């Protein structure tokens, strides 16, 4: 494909993207207003258009992917491996992923209805909250009808939908399927199936959906020595930790790496300043608790004093050549910083391996030589640079060697990816940093691929995030305009969370120990949840008031909801053993609409987890958690679990509802655990 074709393709993609977005906005507008939109003929049209566009988008995106890989490999032949379907409810366990199974079922129907279509789209989506649309939908008929039209086959989406339906095998997951509107296939789930799955979760616990085990390297937090760890690093720490947790839940082999900025020219001035201020630093550990101030002092001297500057440069040379005294000074400075960082990690319960830029020092020599030998480096005003694309020199190249012979952030990341591929034998390489570094990682990916370090299927995955803003929507700062120290921020969280608990009179009910536990769970939980519940690519406004509001979508709200659910069985004085015994005897049976609704939400846990592990957008897990909690409230409003008489004596216990409470609590706990939020039994 020529460049101009490629460009055209990209233009068409972004046009389709814009159109799809417009339609989605329109749909959202429709849906957010009153409910009359359900009968609005425009709705169906928009939905069809939307599906079509989404499909077109997918095709275009795939085309771009296929053409932009530099090696120009031929497209993979379509493999039509027939999936094995679930044929018997009892063979299914609690970790079944509904969307995937439905995809398998409908792909068989589609392939047998249209055997001549290459790669027909199998689109399964969750239906909107309206029972009229079924529980899930297969929306393949619209795009398939489009594909057929392109081949001059006369048809319409409804006809296609009927065809698919006729050829789709029956499945124990599905009660019935209806063709609706312009060609939607509305899928209604089988109650007995859902009952069985939830019973499995109750009896055998929450199990992860099965996936191929991978080794995943997650590079996150990564503050810089002697500089402050700022809110950006806090975001990276919170998001990175959750990414690790979701992958670990799926049994992947996860390596957490703190890619500390612990190497570079700034150490020259720090060491020179250390030598002056604490000449006997080797025998007496100097009291530099405030390393930032120390950094500022040395920077000031560096900028103002030529003599000092010269010495600083000399120190860098000594350090890089491994002079023991200089290494000792460097280690000392790193240690002071690490101790500070550790305080934050301890509070947030983060366990991460320190492996900073210095680790790659000798590996940088190796990778630079490799790139030179392969003829991939070009001279540019004394520097050695590398382009991601041999033919097309647009965008920015990496600076691999500076004109003074030194290395850069780029060099270290080339050595880093090489180490992670070749020594760590990773399958997935994740980097959690602010969105500002997105281009850097795109170029690293392209160069590593060009150098043959990354193989097909291996990618540099950048998990980017927006900036943290203050409530004034400006850069997050203290009132006096200083940057906020993370420790102070966490302290303020603790204080505010205690105020909140006291305001609710919890200090009178809880023991001092319970109160402290609740205070910490609420404070750190709220900070984490506020971060994770927003789409990470957006900027977000840091507001203690909002994150501690127990009526909003916050960690406090969820923690309260969970303790309330947990207290239901406690009040009924039913132990988990009794519940399990009953479950074994009677199983699960939905008798009320609200139970059924809650059951279907709980059933989605595996599919939500798989999605998050794939796209690493944790806000979908938060949205799911919030949905569980609100669906539970609806259920609890309508269905009593325990019946009491006028004196308050328990006269009847509805075990099946208590079972539903138990499964709800377990799934909520698992979600919170993945988000890194500690739960408490009382608060
Ligand atoms: N230290 C860098 C910063 O503060 C982040 C490092 C991210 N990791 C990496 N391999 N480049 O922005």
Per-residue pLDDT reduced to its tens digit, 329-359: 999 999 989 999 999 999 999 999 999 999 9
**What local confidence, expressed as pLDDT, does residue 44 receive?**
54
pLDDT value at 71 more than 50: no
Q: Could you tell me if 460 and 398 are in contact, meaning their C-beta atoms sit under 8 angstroms apart?
A: no
**What local confidence, expressed as pLDDT, does residue 583 receive?**
86
pLDDT value at 19 more than 90: no
Dist. CA 433 → ligand 1 center (Å): 7
Q: Which atom of ligand 1 is nearest to the CA of 409?
A: 11
From 314, 367, 247, 245, select the one nearest 677 (Cα to Cα).
245
**What local confidence, expressed as pLDDT, does residue 288 receive?**
73
Dist. CA 222 → ligand 1 center (Å): 5
> What is the DSSP pairing of strand 398-401 with strand 428-434?
unpaired
Within 6 Å (CB) of ligand 1, which residues are found? 219, 222-224, 259, 261, 413, 416, 431, 433
pLDDT value at 5 more than 60: no
**What local confidence, expressed as pLDDT, does residue 586 receive?**
84
Closest-CA residue, ligand 1 atom 11, reads 413
Please write the tens of the pLDDT for every residue from 416-464. Answer: 999 999 999 999 999 999 999 999 999 999 999 999 999 999 999 999 9
Q: Which atom of ligand 1 is nearest to the CA of 224?
A: 1
Of residues 481 and 304, more confidently modeled: 304
- One DSSP character per residue, 299-340 reads HHHHHH-HHHHHHHHHHHHHHHTT-HHHHHHHHHHHHHHHHH
Dist. CA 342 → ligand 1 center (Å): 17
Q: Which residue has the tokens 């063709």?
A: 179
**What local confidence, expressed as pLDDT, does residue 375 receive?**
97
Closest-CA residue, ligand 1 atom 6, reads 222
**What local confidence, expressed as pLDDT, does residue 68 receive?**
41
Count the helices and strands in the chain (H runs, E runs).
Answer: 24, 16
Dist. CA 238 → ligand 1 center (Å): 15
Dist. CA 678 → ligand 1 center (Å): 28
Q: Angle 619-638/605-615 helices, nearest 10 degrees?
A: 160
Q: Could you tell me if 294 and 226 are in contact, meaning their C-beta atoms sit under 8 angstroms apart?
A: yes
Q: Which atom of ligand 1 is nearest to the CA of 440?
A: 11
Please write the tens of the pLDDT for every residue from 147-181. Answer: 999 999 999 999 999 999 999 999 999 999 999 99
Dist. CA 259 → ligand 1 center (Å): 6
Dist. CA 219 → ligand 1 center (Å): 8
**What local confidence, expressed as pLDDT, does residue 36 receive?**
42
Q: Which atom of ligand 1 is nearest to the CA of 260?
A: 1
Q: What angle do CA 60, 64, 65 make, to 5 degrees?
A: 115
For residue 38, the 8-state DSSP code is G
pTM: 0.86
Dist. CA 353 → ligand 1 center (Å): 14
Fold entry, domain 486-674: Isoleucyl-tRNA Synthetase; Domain 1 (1.10.730)
Closest-CA residue, ligand 1 atom 4, reads 223
Dist. CA 220 → ligand 1 center (Å): 8
Site to substitute for ligand 1 among 259, 352, 416, 430, most atoms within 8 A of C-beta = 259
pLDDT value at 409 more than 60: yes
Alpha-carbon dihedral 400, 405, 408, 410, rounded to 10 degrees: 10
pLDDT value at 546 more than 80: yes
- Which range (51-60, 127-136, 137-146, 280-289) has the least confidence? 51-60
Dist. CA 464 → ligand 1 center (Å): 12
Local confidence band at 25 (pLDDT 50, 70, 90 cut-offs): low
Q: Could you tell me if 107 and 122 are in contact, meaning their C-beta atoms sit under 8 angstroms apart?
A: yes
Please write the tens of the pLDDT for every residue from 354-391. Answer: 999 999 999 999 999 999 999 999 999 999 999 999 88
pLDDT (average), residues 565-591: 91
Closest-CA residue, ligand 1 atom 5, reads 222
Q: Which atom of ligand 1 is nearest to the CA of 434?
A: 12
Dist. CA 357 → ligand 1 center (Å): 9
Dist. CA 414 → ligand 1 center (Å): 13
Site to substitute for ligand 1 among 221, 222, 434, most atoms within 8 A of C-beta = 222
Local confidence band at 65 (pLDDT 50, 70, 90 cut-offs): very low
pLDDT value at 401 more than 90: yes
Dist. CA 352 → ligand 1 center (Å): 15
**What local confidence, expressed as pLDDT, does residue 433 receive?**
98
pLDDT value at 482 more than 50: yes
From 250, 632, 236, 240, select the one nearest 468 (Cα to Cα).
236
pLDDT value at 638 more than 50: yes
- For the chain, the domains span 3-69, 89-189, 266-347, 486-674
Which of the residue ranges 224-233, 310-319, 619-628 has the most confident prediction, judged by mean pLDDT?
A: 619-628
pLDDT value at 61 more than 90: no
Site to substitute for ligand 1 among 407, 410, 437, 486, most atoms within 8 A of C-beta = 437
Q: Which atom of ligand 1 is nearest to the CA of 431?
A: 8
Site to substitute for ligand 1 among 217, 355, 433, most atoms within 8 A of C-beta = 433
**What local confidence, expressed as pLDDT, does residue 599 receive?**
97
pLDDT value at 55 more than 60: no
- Which range (13-22, 84-93, 216-225, 626-635) has the least confidence? 13-22
Local confidence band at 32 (pLDDT 50, 70, 90 cut-offs): very low
Q: Which residue has the tokens 């997105």?
A: 438
Best CATH choice for the domain 89-189 from the list 3.40.50.2300, 1.10.1040.50, 3.90.1310.10, 3.30.1360.70: 3.30.1360.70
Q: Which helix (H) or strand (E) holds 33?
A: none
Dist. CA 161 → ligand 1 center (Å): 50
pLDDT value at 213 more than 90: yes
Query: Exposed, middle or buried: residue 22 (CB in 10 Å: 0-12, 13-18, 19+)?
Result: middle
Closest-CA residue, ligand 1 atom 8, reads 259
Dist. CA 117 → ligand 1 center (Å): 46
Q: Could you tell me if 679 and 349 are in contact, meaning their C-beta atoms sit under 8 angstroms apart?
A: no
Dist. CA 543 → ligand 1 center (Å): 26
Query: How many other C-beta atoms can be found within 10 angstroms of the C-beta atom of residue 405?
Result: 8
**What local confidence, expressed as pLDDT, does residue 69 receive?**
38
């Amino acid at each position: 494909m020529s460049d101009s074709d490629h460009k055209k393709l990209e233009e068409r993609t972004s046009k389709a993207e814009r159109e799809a977005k417009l339609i989605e906005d329109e749909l959202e507008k429709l849906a957010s207003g009153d409910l009359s939109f359900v009968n609005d003929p425009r709705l169906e049209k928009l939905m069809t258009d939307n599906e079509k566009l989404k499909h077109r988008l997918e095709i275009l995106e795939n085309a771009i992917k296929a053409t932009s890989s530099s090696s120009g490999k031929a497209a993979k032949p379509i493999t039509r491996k027939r999936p094995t379907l679930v044929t018997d409810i009892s063979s299914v366990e609690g970790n079944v992923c509904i969307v995937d199974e439905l995809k398998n079922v409908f792909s068989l129907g589609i392939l047998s209805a249209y055997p001549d279509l290459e790669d027909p789209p199998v689109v399964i989506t969750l239906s909107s909250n309206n029972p009229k649309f079924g529980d899930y939908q297969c929306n393949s008929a619209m795009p398939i009808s489009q594909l057929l039209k392109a081949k001059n086959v006369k048809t319409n989406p409804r006809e296609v939908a009927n065809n698919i339906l006729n050829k789709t095998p029956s499945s124990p997951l599905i009660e019935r399927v209806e063709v609706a509107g312009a060609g939607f296939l509305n899928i209604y789930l089988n109650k007995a199936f859902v009952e069985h799955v939830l019973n499995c979760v109750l009896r055998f616990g929450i199990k992860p959906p099965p996936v191929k085990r991978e080794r995943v390297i997650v590079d996150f937090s990564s503050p810089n020595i002697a500089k402050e760890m700022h809110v950006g690093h806090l975001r990276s720490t919170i998001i990175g930790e959750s990414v690790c947790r979701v992958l670990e839940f799926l049994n992947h082999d996860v390596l957490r790496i703190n890619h500390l900025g612990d190497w570079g020219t700034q150490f020259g001035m720090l060491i020179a300043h250390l030598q002056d201020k604490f000449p006997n630093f080797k025998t007496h550990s100097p009291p530099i608790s405030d390393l930032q101030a120390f950094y500022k002092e040395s920077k000031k001297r560096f900028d103002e004093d030529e003599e000092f500057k010269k010495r600083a440069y000399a120190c860098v040379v000594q350090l890089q050549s491994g002079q023991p005294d200089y290494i000792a000074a460097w280690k000392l400075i790193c240690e002071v910083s690490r101790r500070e960082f550790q305080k934050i990690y301890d509070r947030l319960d983060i366990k991460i391996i320190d492996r900073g830029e210095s680790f790659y020092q000798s590996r940088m020599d190796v990778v630079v030589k490799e790139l030179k030998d392969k003829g991939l480096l070009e001279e540019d005003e004394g520097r050695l640079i590398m382009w991601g694309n041999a033919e097309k020199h647009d965008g920015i190249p990496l600076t691999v060697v500076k004109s003074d012979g030194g290395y850069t952030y780029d060099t270290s990341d080339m050595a880093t990816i090489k180490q992670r591929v070749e020594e760590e034998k990773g399958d997935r390489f994740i980097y959690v940093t602010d969105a500002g570094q997105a281009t850097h990682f795109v170029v690293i990916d392209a160069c590593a691929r060009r150098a043959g370090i990354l193989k097909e299927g291996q990618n540099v995955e950048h998990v980017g995030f927006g900036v943290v803003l203050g409530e004034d929507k400006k850069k997050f700062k203290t009132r006096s305009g200083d940057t906020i120290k993370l420790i102070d921020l966490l302290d303020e969280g603790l204080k505010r969370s205690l105020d909140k608990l006291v305001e609710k009179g919890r200090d009178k009910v809880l023991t001092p120990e319970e109160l402290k536990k609740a205070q910490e769970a609420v404070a750190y939980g709220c900070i984490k949840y506020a971060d994770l519940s927003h789409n990470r690519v957006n900027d977000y406004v840091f507001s203690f008031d909002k994150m501690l509001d127990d009526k909003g979508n916050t960690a406090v709200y969820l923690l309260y909801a969970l303790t309330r659910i947990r207290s239901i069985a406690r009040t009924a004085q039913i132990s988990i053993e009794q519940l399990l015994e009953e479950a074994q005897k009677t199983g699960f049976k939905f008798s009320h609409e609200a139970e059924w609704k809650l059951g279907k939400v709980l059933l989605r846990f595996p599919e939500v987890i798989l999605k998050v592990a794939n796209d690493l957008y944790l806000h979908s897990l938060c949205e799911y958690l919030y949905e569980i909690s609100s669906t539970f409230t609806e259920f609890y409003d309508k269905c009593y679990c325990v019946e009491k008489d006028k004196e308050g004596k328990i006269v009847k216990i509805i075990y099946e509802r208590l079972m539903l409470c138990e499964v709800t609590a377990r799934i909520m706990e698992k979600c919170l655990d993945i988000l890194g939020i500690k739960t408490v039994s009382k608060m």
